[in-house]
Structure 1
Amino acid sequence: MKVRISKEVEVVEEQPLSPMARIFQSPEVDYCGVTIMGFKTKFCPDVLLDALKHNVSKHPRFSAKLSEDGAKWIETQINVEDHVVVPNIDPKEIGEDGQGFVDDYISRLTMIPLDRSRPLWDMHILNVKTSDAEAVGVIRSHHSLGDGMSLISLMLACTHKTSDPDNTIIPSLKRRETVPHGLRKQGWFLRSIFTVGSTITLLWNTFVDVVLLFATILFLKDTKTPLKGGADVGRNPTRFYRRTISLDDIKLIKNSMNMTINDVLLGITQAALSRYLNRFYGKNHEKESRALTSNQNHLPRKLRFRSGCTVNLRPDIGFKPLADMMAKDSKCRWGNYFSFIILPFSIGLQTDPLVYLEISESMMARKKHSYHAELVYFIIKSVLKVFGAKAAATIFNRPVENLTTCVSNNIGPMDEISFRGHPIAYIAPSNYGQSQALLVHYMSYAGKMIISMAVDPTVIPDPHKICDDMEESLKDMKAALSERGLL
């Protein structure tokens, strides 16, 4: 429908919000995405403003604001200068710790809501030198604009390969075959048996997952641990921490164990969180007994520790050119086309670090053989249609409150990219506003794997130790494979 919203703005068009976008507009699920980028050179704000005027400002979501009832996008003209912040920083404010200044600045941003009278995004340029960058860019965008894949595809459309300015590397992947390769060579009878058995297993796994999902929505909560947040966590300031590990090491373990990169990352995460929690409970035990060794198990028994894991529902799991995502009826469409699954983490000390990998592979193999993610999306969409956004937001948010953490993994550019002559050293996507004290995001970029953590510092005061534990866990797994001659 055509409407006129002001004298300055010409006739514009309204579009309804997608189901997931309406969920993210609810007060209970007011999530905001943050993408932190380090640049290898000082950043020129004029270059950014010029790029935004020619590219991003024309994007239908980045040039639209919400209607008063929060149910429609209203296309509008924007002034990009209103969305770009370049603070005038006194060097005395920075002191000797540039990274600390940047972390404090971004943390303060999490307490400043986006202006809902205009498009829900902004960019901040900090020409502050840190240990691994000469300048830092921070992009905030409300989650209703799109999910991680959508936003990073937009970023890729605005950048180019550093070594070849005419090209941008768009990574693309295909989903793995669910039928064993050797089985395809067998007769129809064996394939039929496999198909029947696989279907029965698929239906059973889906049934169990749905029962556990509703139990989690209604009453089933994780054990209270030093990593478990509460319902008020989303209203607290969020701090972001980053660590870079070797993507080659992860691929080496992946190939040696014949598993996926996701399996390896989940194994590393479980191992690291087991170390962290055991050390915490060990300190309490140390007060009662002086006899304490690093390999003692101090973890409580029957520890329920689960993670929400985001799942991309698009047929193609790699990034696609922005034009393809914006095309009508696209299979890799722009927006919030994702769901989540609930992963039961195995928190415990293992004498063999490879056990964590075997557990994560088994866990993910079972989850892949279930319609858990698809049904979650269908249930939320149906509840939204029948009972409204508030009820659907409750269905979405209650599992988040009752789980301990959330983990996601995005594939990024394979080669270093630049933004109009500004080489990017790292890309660290994350979120804030959620009811969890710990979020873990992984993103590959230019031969590296970047770990990005969002934490509530009132709950987790030492998140850098979790990053240390992740590095140590990766080293232990690689060493164990080397000792067995499997590398």
Structure 2
Amino acid sequence: MAIWWAIRLIWNTIMDLLVFVATLLFLKDTKNPLKGESAGVDHEHAPKRIVHRNVSLDDIKLVKKAMNMTINDVVLGITQAGLSRYLNRSYGKIEQQNQNSSSLPKSMRIRATVLVGLRPTNGIQELADMMAKESKGRWGNCIGYVLIPFKIGLEKDPLDYVRKAKATIDRKKLSLEALCTYSIAQFVINIFGFKVGGAIAKRVLSRITMAFSNVVGPLEDISFYGHPIAFVAPTVYGHPQALTIHYQSYVNKMTIVLAVDPNVISDPHQLCADIQESLTIIKDAVLQKTLIINDVV
């Protein structure tokens, strides 16, 4: 088993690196309503519109427990479901104008860049400890890139979105893609400088549809100078992508945050609502399946 595990690890890493290099050279995501490709459009400096929705973290945990999965599996699953709903509606409008039947394209390549922390020590560290020579949590960024493929399509069983998400994440866990991309980035920066490193990063990111992250937040209520925090909604700006999706947990809430280029995605509230609705549909499917199993037993 150990030998087979090592073979799979090496194979997956090689394939992921080949895809990364291909993306750098020529491989682009399919042109779609989430990815702006108009000539002269600069998503890095374009104004971004930020919207958010708060959903129940307990609902996500319910799906997680019932399907024996992780929070990341469920989050990726509901995102795939929400994007599928949104894109199906978008393509339906486009094809309706052309008097064709509305449906998703049969084959779509939609990926997200995910930053993976590679620090051996998690959490907030003391500055003096981080600056020490033998410190495990060294000062500075220590992150690698992972390219996550999204399975876009309308599923008859809503739980299939989560099952496919789990398969994708399990496959990525058995790979050293993040460590290798971090090492490559460090090598390029040390040899050629930050400008070349930045140009390579921009080229790769601009060929990917979106950025995606899921961050664990405080487990208890916190306050800021005596003011209680209701929720946490982080986002970023300055990368060459028209869509960024953040999930941020806080106590019993999960906040979905979208940062979009309004020139590409004019209705971000609808996209956010589709993701929220997908969670409800998947949760209801889990409850229905549980009731059926209990009735049979």
Structure with greater proportional helix content: 2
Partner of 2:46: 236
Among all aligned residue pairs of Structure 1 and Structure 2, give the percentage whose two residues are the same amino acid: 47
TM superposition score normalised by structure 1: 0.57
Spell out, residue by residue over 1:211-239, the C-alpha distance to the aligned partner (whole angstroms, 9 max, x if none).
00000001100111110034611121112
> How far apart are the structure 2 equivalents of 1:249 and 1:322?
36
Alignment partner of 1:202 out of 9, 17, 22: 9
Matched, 1:448 2:253: yes
Structure 1 position 273 matched with structure 2 position 83: yes
- What is the TM-score with the length of structure 2 in the denominator? 0.92
Write the mapping of 1:319-334 to structure 2, written as runs, cut at 5 A: 319-322=123-126, 326=130, 328=132, 329-334=134-139
Deviations 1:354-380 (A, max 9, x none): 111011100110111000000000001
Q: CA deviation at 1:332?
A: 3.7
Structure-1 separation of matches of 2:268 and 2:109: 21
Q: Specify the code of the residue in structure 2 equivalent to 1:283.
A: K
Task: Give the CA deviation at 1:383.
Answer: 1.0
Report SS of the residue matched to 1:251.
Answer: helix
Where 2:114 maps in the other structure, the secondary structure is strand
Q: 2:215 aligns with which of 389, 403, 410?
A: 410
The answer as to whether partners of 1:320 and 1:332 remain within 8 angstroms in 2 is no
- The answer to whether residue 140 in structure 2 is matched with residue 335 in structure 1 is yes
Q: Which runs of 4+ in 1 moved over 4 A?
A: 321-325
SS, match of residue 311 in structure 1: strand
Of residues 159, 174, 179, the one that matches 1:354 is 159
CA drift at 1:285: 2.7
State the Cα distance separating 1:320 from its structure 2 match: 3.2
Give the root-mean-square deviation of aligned CA atoms. 1.9
**Gap regions ≥5 residues in structure 1:** 1-193
Name the SS for the 1:215 alignment partner: helix
Conserved in 1, the CA contact under 8 Å of 2:84 and 2:154? yes
Q: Distance in 2 between matches of 1:220 and 1:205?
A: 18
1:247 aligns with 2:247: no
C-alpha displacement of 1:330: 3.6
Structure 2 CA distance for aligned equivalents of residues 421 and 280 of structure 1? 45
Structure 1 position 458, deviation (Å)? 0.9
Which one scores higher on RCO, CA 8 angstroms, separation ≥ 6? 2
Which structure is larger by alpha-carbon Rg, 1 or 2? 1
Q: What is the rounded CA distance, in whole Å, between the counterparts of 1:472 and 1:222 in structure 2?
A: 26
- What is the 5 A alignment of 1:432-471? 432-471=237-276
Following TM superposition, by how much is the alpha carbon of 1:287 offset from its aligned partner in structure 2, in angstroms? 3.2
> SS in structure 2 opposite 1:375?
helix
Tell me the CA shift for residue 305 of structure 1: 0.7
Q: Distance in 1 between matches of 2:153 and 2:6?
A: 33
CA–CA distance in 1 between the matches of 2:128 and 2:254?
Answer: 27
Q: The residue matched to 1:398 in structure 2 has which SS?
A: helix
Deviations 1:465-484 (A, max 9, x none): 11111111101111111111
- Say whether residues 1:258 and 2:68 are aligned partners: yes
What is the aligned partner in structure 2 of residue 364 from structure 1?
169
Query: Partner residue of 1:298?
Result: 103
Distance 1:250 1:330, change over 3 A: farther
Q: In the aligned structure 2, how far is the partner of 1:265 from the partner of 1:324?
A: 36
Task: Output the CA distance in 1 between the equivalents of 2:53 and 2:112.
Answer: 20
Residue type of the partner of 1:229? G
Amino acid at match of 1:460: I
CA contact (8 A) 1:324 1:330 kept: no
Deviation at 1:284, TM superposition (A): 2.2
Secondary structure at the counterpart of residue 460 of structure 1: coil
User: What residue number does 1:310 align with?
Assistant: 115
Q: What is the rounded CA distance, in whole Å, between the counterparts of 2:128 and 2:213 in structure 1?
A: 24
Pairing 1:282–2:85 present: no
CA distance in 2, matches of 1:326, 1:405: 32
Q: How does 1:154-193 map to 2 (within 5 A)?
A: none
Q: Which secondary structure state, in structure 2, belongs to the residue aligned with residue 235 of structure 1? A: coil
Contact 2:125 2:137 in 1 (8 A): no
Per-residue deviation, 1:315: 2.4
Give the whole-Å Cα distance in 1 for the aligned partners of 2:69 and 2:9.
Answer: 21
Q: Is the 8 A contact 1:408 1:440 kept in 2?
A: yes
Letter in 1 for 2:12: N
